[in-house]
Amino acid sequence: MSTSTTAIVAGPDEGGIGDALEAEGVDVVRINGVVSRPALEEAGIVDADLYVLTDVGQATTIPIVCDLNDEIRTVTYARDTVPEFVRGQLDLAIDPQLMDVAIVAEELVG
């Protein structure tokens, strides 16, 4: 009856959020390097449930993601502060140093 959750994890994943989400049963697609609209589309962003950005230097992808999928939850999992211009479109900003990755993944799925 329940459908699986799909997450796009974009950016380097030193914090292990992708693995933690997989441990919660999430289908994870990773994008490394520059995150572009074509890369997001190829990764399946239109049908994804969750977008996790680990590099706030690529925060311009958040409005693109919201434009492509208005039902998606957007999350940054990074130490750096999120730029002001994307805060209104961001559902959650988490500092990996402040919250254990397993707890974050559990909360994002639950």
Q: What is the pLDDT of residues 67-97, one digit of tens each?
A: 999 999 999 999 999 999 999 999 999 999 9
Structural domains of the chain, count: 1
pLDDT at 4 (0 to 100): 86
Residue 1 inside a domain? The answer is: no
Residue pair 81/33 in contact (Cβ under 8 Å)? The answer is no
pLDDT at 37 (0 to 100): 96
Domain that includes residue 92, residue range: 6-109
What mean pLDDT value characterizes the chain? 94
What CATH number is given to the structural domain containing 28?
A: 3.40.50.2300
Nearest to 85 by CA among 50, 55, 56: 56
pTM of the predicted protein model: 0.94
